[in-house]
């Protein structure tokens, strides 16, 4: 079979420039790409036809920020936080010990399990970071394992300084031998620019070394408090500044002036009882916003983009349509991808079928498994 007509789509969200949302629509797929979209009544013939029964079809979610290469969990930490303990970046070291002790096979099986859970909830593109190895060997194998699951791999050797290591010596390691071993397996370089992790000068050094090695920068910024991370992201031309929980006016202006995408990660605020980032303020200031899960065992152990959409609508001032855009097209912008996150002609045919008449149900029915990729 070479072409498939998907028809009787009650609401098609394609993000096409002309008609971003089309009622009573159809899509023709050829060789894995979108070949035609439009009114159902005008659809061309195809080799096969699939009638979806009047439900909504949206682009597959683009989860632009995850940390899936890890072993163990930190449920006890979560339980303590829910009883009032604050989130501490130092918890990362607990996962580092468990990850180092795991075999390649165990880590790869964990990644595969999470990616498959994501897919079952409508995620069709995922970025995966290293950052729980923090030795040359463990970071390189983390990235090699991530690469088995996605092209969108990010070297995050600069996550925290491992126990018993001098900070400056560790930055030298990350920007030297570790980068050399990791760059072949990575597309992106990331750094946790935050008090208790890496200062702005160290973060700049890490990002510049990554860029010199052919990687593109992105930053963990302004998660635990106000700081220079977002402005550093703008300075180095990062694809995204992720978290953006604590922003002042200069940070918002830096994002809108530079075009750096603000990657908002509502699972983190949910799981750490932190204030949610103000998506409304960012959108109204002209900032491009992406939504992602940040799936990791410490600050946000969810692999569900629909959950993030629901929280973004309920708590962050986004409309359901804005939240869906940020979870699809916005995520694609954060990864500098034009072939995913939308369903215009020429895009990858990553169609997600909702068991619902409109996209609004993604936020309106939180926790209900409505989004499933179309199988062909
Ligand atoms: O994105 N902020 C730094 N890294 C992760 C948390 C990792 C952890 O707590 O294990 C994050 O939230
Ligand atoms: Fe993260």
Q: What is the pLDDT of residues 11-48, one digit of tens each?
A: 999 999 999 999 999 999 999 999 999 999 999 999 99
CA distances from 256 to 66, 230, 240 (A): 24, 11, 12
Query: What number does the ligand 1 atom closest to the CA of 94 have?
Result: 10
Reported as half-sphere exposure (CB side, CA atoms, 13 A), residue 22 has a value of 24
The residues, any chain, with a CB within 8 Å of residue 184's CB and separated by 6 or more, are none
DSSP 296: B
**Residue 90 clears pLDDT 90, i.e. is over it:** no
Comparing C-alpha atoms, which of 207, 246, 208 is closest to residue 228? 246
Average pLDDT over residues 314-333: 98
Decide whether any atom of ligand 1 lies within 6 Å of the 245 Cβ. Answer: no
Answering whether pTM is above 0.75, one says yes
Nearest CA to ligand 1 atom 6: 299
Query: What number does the ligand 1 atom closest to the CA of 220 have?
Result: 2
Distance 272 CA to ligand 1 centre (A): 11
Decide whether any atom of ligand 1 lies within 6 Å of the 266 Cβ. Answer: no
Decide whether any atom of ligand 1 lies within 6 Å of the 72 Cβ. Answer: no
Task: Please provide the average confidence, as pLDDT, over all residues in the chain.
Answer: 97
pLDDT at residue 88, as a whole number: 86
Token output for 59: 């682009």
Query: What number does the ligand 1 atom closest to the CA of 74 have?
Result: 10
Ligand located closest to 245 CA: 1
Q: What is the best residue among 191, 298, 301, 302 to mutate for testing ligand 1's pocket, by most ligand atoms within 8 Å of CB?
A: 298
Average pLDDT over residues 301-329: 98
Q: How confident is the model at residue 1 (pLDDT cuts 50, 70, 90)?
A: low
Query: What number does the ligand 1 atom closest to the CA of 87 have?
Result: 9
- Helix orientation angle between 104-120 and 136-147, rounded to the nearest 10 degrees: 40
Per residue in 202-256, pLDDT tens?
999 999 999 999 999 999 999 999 999 999 999 999 999 999 999 999 999 999 9
Decide whether any atom of ligand 1 lies within 6 Å of the 220 Cβ. Answer: yes
**Residue 376 clears pLDDT 90, i.e. is over it:** no
Distance 127 CA to ligand 2 centre (A): 11
Nearest CA to ligand 1 atom 5: 299
Specify whether the CB–CB gap between 93 and 162 falls below 8 A. Answer: yes
Distance 77 CA to ligand 2 centre (A): 17
Average pLDDT over residues 248-274: 98
Ligand located closest to 71 CA: 1
């Amino acid at each position: 079979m070479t072409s498939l007509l998907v028809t009787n789509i009650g609401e098609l969200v394609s993000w096409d420039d002309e008609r971003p949302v089309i009622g009573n629509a159809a899509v023709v797929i050829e060789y894995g790409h979108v070949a035609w979209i439009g009114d159902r009544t005008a659809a061309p013939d195809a080799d096969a036809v699939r009638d979806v029964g009047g439900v909504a079809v949206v682009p597959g979610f683009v989860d632009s920020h995850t940390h899936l290469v890890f072993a163990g969990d930190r449920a006890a930490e979560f339980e303590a936080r829910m009883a009032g303990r604050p989130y501490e970046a130092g918890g990362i070291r607990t996962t580092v010990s468990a990850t180092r002790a795991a075999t390649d096979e165990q880590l790869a099986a964990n990644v595969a399990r999470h990616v498959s859970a994501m897919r079952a909830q409508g995620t069709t593109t995922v970025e995966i970071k290293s950052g729980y190895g923090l030795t040359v060997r463990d970071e390189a194998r983390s990235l090699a394992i991530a690469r088995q699951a996605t092209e969108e791999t990010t070297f995050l050797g600069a996550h925290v300084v491992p126990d018993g290591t001098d900070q400056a010596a560790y930055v030298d390691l990350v920007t030297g031998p570790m980068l050399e071993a990791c760059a072949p397996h990575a597309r992106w370089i990331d750094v946790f620019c935050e008090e208790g992790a890496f200062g702005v000068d160290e973060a700049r050094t890490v990002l510049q070394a990554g860029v010199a090695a052919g990687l593109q920068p992105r930053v963990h910024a302004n998660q635990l408090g106000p700081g220079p991370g977002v402005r550093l992201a703008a300075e180095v031309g990062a694809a995204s500044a992720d978290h953006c929980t604590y922003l002042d006016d200069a940070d918002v202006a830096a994002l809108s002036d530079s075009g750096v995408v603000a990657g908002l990660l509502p699972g983190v605020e949910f799981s750490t009882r932190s204030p949610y980032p103000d998506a409304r303020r960012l959108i109204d200031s002209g900032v491009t916003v992406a939504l992602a899960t940040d799936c990791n065992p410490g600050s946000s152990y969810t692999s569900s983009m629909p959950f993030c959409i629901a929280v973004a609508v309920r708590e962050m001032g986004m409309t359901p349509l804005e939240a869906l855009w940020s979870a699809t097209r916005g995520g694609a912008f954060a990864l500098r991808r034009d072939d995913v996150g939308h369903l215009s002609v020429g895009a990858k045919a990553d169609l997600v079928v909702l068991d619902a008449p409109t996209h609004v149900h993604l936020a309106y029915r939180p926790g209900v498994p409505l989004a499933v990729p179309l199988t062909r």
